[in-house]
Structure 1
Amino acid sequence: MEAKMKSSVTAFMKKHQLLTKGATVLVGVSGGPDSMALLHFLCSIRKEWELRLIAISIDHQLRDTESEADLGYVSKMCDRWNVTFIGTSLDVPSYKQEKQVGTQIAARQMRYGFFAEQMEKYEADYLALGHHGDDQVETMLMGLVRSANSSDFSGIPVKRDFVTGCIIRPLLGVTKKEINTYLEASEIIPRIDPTNNETIYTRNFFRKKTIPLLKEKNSNIHTTVQHLSETLGEDEQYLRAQAGKVFNEIVELDEEGTLAAFEIDVFQAQHSALQRRIFHLILNYLYNRLPKDLSYVHEEQFFALLQSDKGNVQIDFPAHLKLEKVYGKLIFNFLPEEAPPSFHKTLEVPGRVDFPDGSTVTAFYNNTYYGQDKHSYFCNKEEIALPLHIRTRLAGDRMHWKGLEGSKKLKDIFIDAKVPKKDRAKWPILTDNNGEILWLIGLKKGQPDSQKSNTSYIQIIYEKGDM
């Protein structure tokens, strides 16, 4: 049976072109049955494929000492199998509280963040994960129960781009039963997470209650569903690409990311499959994060608004987004919030500026350069035009720094740094008397046009309040 599964997985990998010879492969290993079977399988083909294997194991700090013991187990097995081991502990409970997200989402975000760091560090070609055929069935069933959107039925991808390479899932072609048989034949005793048996979790409910019934009717259901997942995924990829092209042609967008609009007759001339996807592209553009209370009901309201005979009507979406039909045009726009007060203050050297939130900026001359951190800024006094100014953002603001060709909009810097829109208008900006942006305080340092040496320095220190 061990040889049978190895043959099945190898054929599946070759069909989907999941590996190349000489590749560096990171393997996500929890110590559970699936990941241990995957690691053992990859070890068995390591010589033939000339693979460099690195096992990545993560303690999410969710099961007290048990998860620590999982790390120790994986480390011991990697030592036995001569595999490089990377283990880490991630504070998921604190992250969950900070981001106000569920446990599974928090764990996934932190886990994939760490995977991404290791992919870059080792310049890896692949990240191999142990999802199997039964996982695919569960995912498709969960999509059926939770969603009315066809794009949610493409399931777990066999292969997708990730950082320096791809995520691959070589076990999607085999079942949990085949994996357990493989482990027994290989004399591997994996770690077992007791929460996998608790049916209060939706996925476990399908695993324990629903899938066994399906297998009574079709013992090969995992193969059927995997084929369905692949064909739906290919169809969805094509439709999204086509929708993206039409989106770029017919949807008008503002630079601030708060408004989108289109001519209704032009939109309705598109195929309905593209209309739905363009609608979702607009929502993804406008929302920094899709609201939890956004559902297919809003999609129905959107299409009902398009079909309405009334000339000027509007409906409200979550998070203050308004849809308005005006003279043959549909406009998505956020309701205006009260604009935070702007400010402009002169910063004398030496001198200090205080802000209402308790933040302060202090400037003084210094004959020694000590280096800079996030909350301090140094420059030669001959490089800049005094006096200095601290102000809020103005339309068209741009800045440049060493290594950047040309300049960059402040708006794009804020977006790259994921600064919430509500904070951007009140963010303090340091400029010289010519208006050149020297420091987007606490976020990005600029580069003066002129470069001097052997002069005294101006040091500026920012102390954070409640911003």
Structure 2
Amino acid sequence: MHFFEEEVKRFMKKKEMVERGDHIAVAVSGGVDSMALLFFLNKQRLHLGITVSAIHVDHMLRGGESLEDLRFVEEFCREIDVPFFGRRANAKHEAEVSHSSIQKAARNVRYALFEQGMDELGANKLATAHHADDQVETVLMQLTRGGHTQAGIPAVRSFAGGRIIRPFLGVTKEDIQAYTDDHLIKCREDPSNQKDTYTRNRFRHQVLSFLKKENPKAPLHIQHFAEERQEDEQFLRMLAQETIKNISTWEQETVSLQIEPFHEVPLPLQKRAIHLILNYLYHGKTAFSFLHIQHILQLLQSTAPSGKLNLPSRLSVRKINKQCIFAYETDEEPDYSNDFLFQEDRIYRQGAGTFTLTEKSVCPDEAECFRLKPDTPMPICIRMRQNGDRIELKGMNSAKKLARLLIDEKVPLAYRDYIPVVTDANGTILWVPGIRKSIHEGDGPLLLIYEKE
């Protein structure tokens, strides 16, 4: 049997990627990597005891060329008798509406359609064609940006009630290319992959090419490094959790920590313990950074008997003698008044932030924005949530209770009464900043800018 197939199967077994009875939807762009993955999994479906289907998303960024990619993948699936789910999504329009980069908007619509495709196909796993070269680029980009993790791309992670799996992480781009050549697998390449305007492409063409000249096996070495980092991190977090179990008290939205025994914990476990506490209180949302953890450690190590830090979303960290209390601030009463904005108005709400209604075309950095439809009833109203509030969301047939939305979004109970709600003059909820936008966002001239306090 082909060495490549044996290597991929060995990696999949090691990572426990598949079980008999799985339905795996393959994310297929039409390029070399994803076409090879679809071909491989379909060839091995009986041996692995799985069902295979394909999902393709056309981001509509290359006009007729990208539409041809969709048709190409659809035809290939027809030839090999694989169920196909293909959709077109206007990534450029999504970027304009959400005021984000094209890359971010494309990723958002892509993964939303992956989830929809899995649901319609009945798949419980999504396979993507990331390989060892991609792992190198990701690890180096994380290191360059100074992120708190350098573990790279996980081989398996949760997604849409199932899992994303990456069978090709243990092989290189050259391995995949050789496999497609050997089996005469047809493919189409996106010319944007050659443009150095994208950060990842610059790493690929300049940094990765240099590393491969130094050592052709560099991608596999860095992939092994990333695997070990992920395993080490998982072990250290489990150890941190076990270590602080008897010196901390965890309640629904409060954690108290005994400072003196915490000082006896090794620093690497201290950092991970703080990370666990913040992750617990923020319900898995990445609302904090490496700097927040450093500041908390500095507070705990200081000789002062008391002190306080204010973290995002009204979470405070208080040092009180021998205790450190992580809790949400509820001292101030929510502002239940209504504020109204006409064009070029600017208002500040205590505990929430600043709202500006303007004709600006671009959302400022570090701000959130909502573009109004041309016929939005004025003035715009900023208020706190009320009993019975409902919001109309994309993809839903009926309005959703705001109280239910805040629960589903895992917004801390103590913080829910402090979240601003944006409505039009008729009381229709347009936006809950930081949470979700309604279906009423449009392409009119007015932009509502929110700068969080």
Per the normalisation by structure 1, the TM-score is: 0.68
Q: Does the CA contact (< 8 Å) of 1:128 and 1:170 recur in 2?
A: yes
- What does the per-residue CA deviation read over 1:108-163, in whole Å, with 9 as the maximum and x for residues that have no partner? 343333333443444434321101110111112122222353xx222222223444
Deviation at 1:177, TM superposition (A): 1.6
- Tell me which residue corresponds to 1:71: 70
The AA in structure 2 aligned to 1:425 is D
| 1:54-203 aligned within 5 A | 54-96=53-95, 101-147=100-146, 149=148, 152-203=149-200
Task: Report the Cα distance in structure 1 between the residues aligned to 2:386 and 2:206, rounded to whole angstroms.
Answer: 60
Flag the 1:107–1:331 CA change in 2: closer, same or farther, 3 A: farther
Matched, 1:298 2:292: yes
Task: Report the Cα distance in structure 1 between the residues aligned to 2:224 and 2:143, rounded to whole angstroms.
Answer: 16
| 1:270-419 aligned within 5 A | 270-287=265-282, 289-291=285-287, 295-318=289-312, 321-333=315-327, 339-341=334-336, 374=398, 414-417=406-409
How many pairs align?
374
Deviation at 1:27, TM superposition (A): 0.6
The percentage of counterpart residues that share the same residue type is 36
Deviation at 1:56, TM superposition (A): 0.6
Flag the 1:374–1:40 CA change in 2: closer, same or farther, 3 A: closer
- Tell me which residue corresponds to 1:407: none
Task: Report the Cα distance in structure 2 between the residues aligned to 1:89 and 1:200, rounded to whole angstroms.
Answer: 24
Q: Which of 229, 234, 238 is equivalent to 1:232?
A: 229
Instruction: State the SS of the aligned residue for 2:335.
Output: coil
In structure 1, the gaps of 5 or more residues are 344-355, 363-372, 378-409, 428-461
The AA in structure 1 aligned to 2:56 is S
Task: Report the Cα distance in structure 1 between the residues aligned to 2:94 and 2:412, rounded to whole angstroms.
Answer: 18
Task: Report the Cα distance in structure 1 between the residues aligned to 2:318 and 2:298, rounded to whole angstroms.
Answer: 12
- What does the per-residue CA deviation read over 1:305-358, in whole Å, with 9 as the maximum and x for residues that have no partner? 222112233344456554432223233455556513399xxxxxxxxxxxx879
- Tell me which residue corresponds to 2:35: 36
- Tell me which residue corresponds to 1:455: none
Instruction: State the SS of the aligned residue for 2:188.
Output: coil
Task: Report the Cα distance in structure 1 between the residues aligned to 2:410 and 2:157, rounded to whole angstroms.
Answer: 24
Flag the 1:86–1:340 CA change in 2: closer, same or farther, 3 A: same
Q: Does the CA contact (< 8 Å) of 1:119 and 1:164 recur in 2?
A: no
In structure 2, the gaps of 5 or more residues are 339-380, 389-396, 420-425, 432-453
- Tell me which residue corresponds to 2:392: none
What's the Cα RMSD here?
A: 3.9
Matched, 1:215 2:209: no
Instruction: State the SS of the aligned residue for 2:319.
Output: strand
Per the normalisation by structure 2, the TM-score is: 0.70
Instruction: State the SS of the aligned residue for 1:58.
Output: strand
Deviation at 1:423, TM superposition (A): 8.8
Flag the 1:333–1:12 CA change in 2: closer, same or farther, 3 A: closer
Q: Does the CA contact (< 8 Å) of 1:123 and 1:164 recur in 2?
A: no
Matched, 1:265 2:260: yes
Task: Report the Cα distance in structure 2 between the residues aligned to 1:284 and 1:13, rounded to whole angstroms.
Answer: 30
Flag the 1:142–1:337 CA change in 2: closer, same or farther, 3 A: farther
Deviation at 1:285, TM superposition (A): 3.6
Q: Does the CA contact (< 8 Å) of 1:31 and 1:70 recur in 2?
A: yes
Instruction: State the SS of the aligned residue for 1:153.
Output: coil
